[in-house]
């Protein structure tokens, strides 16, 4: 029977509820339980796919093509499972379903209301995910902060769900912040008390408090929190700032977080196997060297915009026992090739990640040219691959004015063009080529060497592709097409044999990298850097 764990947040936003939920998922998985997750986001967008990365950070893509909140990435990385469309629920998608039903006449003339229609739809999403995954534990994180007007239907749905499920079948973990006042040298509990009071006013009593804090929480303060918030003392869990997010599960394990959850849900405790995770953290904390990897993109002011790319770089670093420093390069600064040279002069490897629109493209082309000519290990992702193809077409294959129709609609040499089935697509929401597609890998290539397989599956999110008319001339000029869609129509990976590592892919490998299992293409990049710098693992 599935047990449900709801995670809410109070006091401030950006508390790291996703990391706390993902850590709990890890601790339960380490005990052999199956775990599914759901992220509820109260905004009205149907999904975050149409939101600017500056607003919302990265859009994480699942195997089945859902464009979701970046927290889902943390959940997949910590729990090491693949989730689905049902894992991501927004107010927009809930309202869309209810309004579609209303238009169909499903409500038989009734007045359609937040309670019960919206709350019923929210509850049915919980049930649908349960039916798909049939997990031992279903963790449901509610985005936003308690007290937000837009989160209320979700909180009400949880209140109903909890009381229908029964005491030992569903719990609420409330995450808060204990601010530290340096003048008095104290951690303050009052904001947490207030936030629990708000939660109670909606009819929800938390069973566990997870308190984010810079300092260790004194026993007296834990007791105060337990008393005022009506939770047991052992259920006040401290969550300190950590050097690495991957340390969080171990820090929570030390405080018996999972056993407290299991006790409340009346599930027998099991021994946790966290040995490999401990080895991972050991590696993270004791690197044998440091390397510098540049990310040359457009959204460099908000690292969350490329969070899965950053995590994937780290994973490949851990496997090599090296610390990876990220150098953010705003590709617009590289439009001048002298500045590009200066910015690139101290980097050991470079990634040109995904993106949309023309801004900064010429700078990306300069970065790629620099990497190609100076043997700087390079990985291009999605837009990064399209730029690599344009750069090679212009500067090596001699295809004058080569461009993408995304940046120049009437270009004389459209080496990158809209995919055929995208030509008549109208509207932006959920209309790209999304999710997992197979790719055939050519033997004897770098891609084949790192994947060690002839067939792979990777997640996509794009509208444009390499124009098949240009594949032959590009091949003749030396570009290797090492990965193609099974029908041979879509170019999925290109590479060059000469530089130590010059590989670019149309898909997003960053969505499948795991801390203990780095993605082959990121590993290939970091391996090449480590080899160049003579830093063996």
- Taking the CA atoms of the chain, what radius of gyration do you get in angstroms? 25
> b/e per residue, 107-122, with b = 16+ CB within 10 A?
eeeeeeeeeebbbebb
Could you tell me if 493 and 447 are in contact, meaning their C-beta atoms sit under 8 angstroms apart?
Answer: yes
Query: CA–CA separation, 41 vs 143, rounded Å?
Result: 5
Interaction between residue 33 and ligand GLN (CB under 6 A): no
**Count of residues touching ligand GLN (by CB under 6 A):** 10
459 binds ligand GLN (CB under 6 A): no
Residue 382 touching ligand GLN (CB under 6 A): yes
Q: Please tell me whether residue 463 binds ligand GLN under the rule CB under 6 A.
A: yes
Please give the structure tokens belonging to residue 455.
């067939």
Considering only residues 10, 297, 354, 518, which one is a binding residue for ligand GLN as defined by CB under 6 A? 354
Q: Which of 356, 411, 440, 532 binds ligand GLN (CB under 6 A)?
A: 356
Helix (H, G, I), strand (E, B) or coil at 419: coil
Task: Count Cα atoms within 13 angstroms, Cβ side, for 33.
Answer: 27
The window from 132-140, 158-166, 353-361, 509-517 that contacts ligand GLN (CB under 6 A) reads 353-361
Starting at the earlier edge strand, list the strands of the sheet with 402-404: 402-404, 413-418, 464-466
Q: Which stretch binds ligand GLN (CB under 6 A): 22-30, 104-112, 371-379, 462-470?
A: 462-470
**Taking CB under 6 A as the rule, does residue 328 contact ligand GLN?**
no
Contact segment (CB under 6 A) with ligand GLN among 47-55, 94-102, 242-250, 348-356 equals: 348-356
Instruction: Collect all residues with Cβ–Cβ distance below 8 Å to 227 and sequence separation of at least 6.
Output: none
Task: Name the residue nearer to ligand GLN (CB basis): 30 or 382.
Answer: 382
Task: Please give the helix or strand (H or E) that residue 155 lies within, else none.
Answer: helix 152-165
Give the Cα separation of 144 and 127 in Å (integer). Answer: 22
Q: Has 382 been annotated as catalytic?
A: yes
Is residue 85 near ligand GLN by the rule CB under 6 A? no
Catalytic site residue from 175, 334, 340, 382: 382
Burial class (CB in 10 A: 0-12, 13-18, 19+), 271: exposed
**505 noted as active-site residue:** no
383 binds ligand GLN (CB under 6 A): yes
Task: Identify whether 508 is a catalytic site residue.
Answer: yes
Residue in 56, 117, 462, 508 annotated catalytic: 508
464 contributes a contact to ligand GLN by CB under 6 A: yes
Q: Does 352 bind ligand GLN (CB under 6 A)?
A: no
From 232-240, 252-260, 394-402, 456-464, span contacting ligand GLN (CB under 6 A):
456-464
368 binds ligand GLN (CB under 6 A): no
Note the maximum CA span of the chain. 74
Residues in contact with ligand GLN by CB under 6 A are: 354-356, 382-383, 406, 461-464
The residues annotated with a catalytic role in the active site are 382, 508, 510
């Amino acid at each position: 029977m599935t047990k449900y764990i709801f995670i809410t947040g109070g006091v401030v936003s950006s508390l790291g509820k996703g990391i706390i939920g993902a850590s709990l998922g890890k601790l339960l998985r380490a005990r052999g339980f199956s775990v599914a997750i759901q992220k509820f986001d109260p905004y009205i967008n149907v999904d975050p796919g149409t939101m600017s990365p500056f607003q919302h950070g990265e859009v994480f893509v699942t195997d089945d093509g859902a464009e979701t909140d970046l927290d889902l990435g943390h959940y997949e990385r910590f729990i090491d499972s693949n989730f689905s469309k049902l894992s991501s629920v927004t107010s927009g998608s809930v309202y869309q379903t209810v309004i579609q039903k209303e238009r169909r006449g499903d409500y038989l003339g009734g007045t359609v209301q937040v309670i019960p229609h919206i709350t019923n739809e929210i509850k049915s999403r919980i049930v649908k995910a349960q039916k798909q995954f049939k997990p031992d534990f279903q963790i449901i994180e509610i985005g936003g902060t308690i007290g937000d007007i837009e989160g209320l239907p979700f909180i009400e749905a949880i209140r109903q769900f909890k009381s229908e499920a029964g005491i030992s079948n569903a719990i609420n973990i409330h995450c808060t912040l204990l601010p530290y006042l340096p003048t008095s040298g104290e951690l303050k509990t009052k904001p947490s008390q207030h936030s629990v009071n708000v939660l109670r006013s909606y009819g929800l009593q938390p069973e566990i408090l997870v308190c984010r804090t810079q300092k260790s929480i004194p026993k007296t303060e834990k007791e105060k929190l337990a008393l005022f918030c009506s939770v047991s003392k052992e259920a006040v869990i401290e969550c300190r700032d950590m050097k690495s997010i991957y340390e969080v599960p171990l820090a929570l394990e030390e405080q018996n977080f999972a056993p407290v959850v299991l006790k409340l849900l009346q599930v027998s405790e099991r021994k946790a196997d966290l040995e490999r995770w401990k080895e991972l953290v050991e590696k993270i904390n004791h690197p044998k060297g440091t390397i510098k990897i540049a990310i040359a993109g457009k959204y460099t002011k908000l690292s969350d915009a490329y969070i899965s790319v950053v995590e994937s770089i780290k994973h490949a670093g851990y496997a090599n026992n090296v610390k990876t420093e990220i150098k953010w390069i705003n590709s617009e600064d590289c439009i001048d090739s002298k500045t590009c040279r200066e910015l690139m002069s101290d980097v050991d490897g470079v990634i040109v990640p995904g993106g949309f629109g023309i801004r900064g493209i010429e700078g990306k082309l300069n970065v790629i040219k620099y990497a190609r000519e100076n043997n700087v290990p390079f990985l291009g992702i999605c837009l990064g691959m399209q730029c690599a193809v344009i750069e090679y077409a212009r500067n090596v294959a001699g295809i004058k004015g080569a461009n993408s129709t995304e940046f120049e609609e009437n270009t004389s040499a459209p080496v990158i063009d809209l995919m055929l089935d995208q030509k008549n697509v109208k509207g932006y929401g959920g209309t790209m080529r999304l999710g997992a597609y197979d790719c055939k890998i050519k033997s004897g290539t770098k891609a084949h060497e790192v994947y060690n397989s002839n067939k792979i599956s990777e997640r996509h999110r794009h509208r444009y592709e390499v124009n098949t008319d240009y594949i032959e001339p590009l091949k003749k000029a030396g570009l290797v097409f090492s990965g193609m869609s099974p029908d041979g129509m879509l170019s999925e990976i290109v590479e060059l044999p000469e530089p130590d590592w010059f590989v670019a892919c149309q898909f997003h490998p960053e969505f499948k990298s795991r801390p203990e299992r780095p993605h082959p293409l990121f590993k290939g990049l970091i391996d090449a850097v480590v080899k160049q710098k003579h830093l063996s693992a």
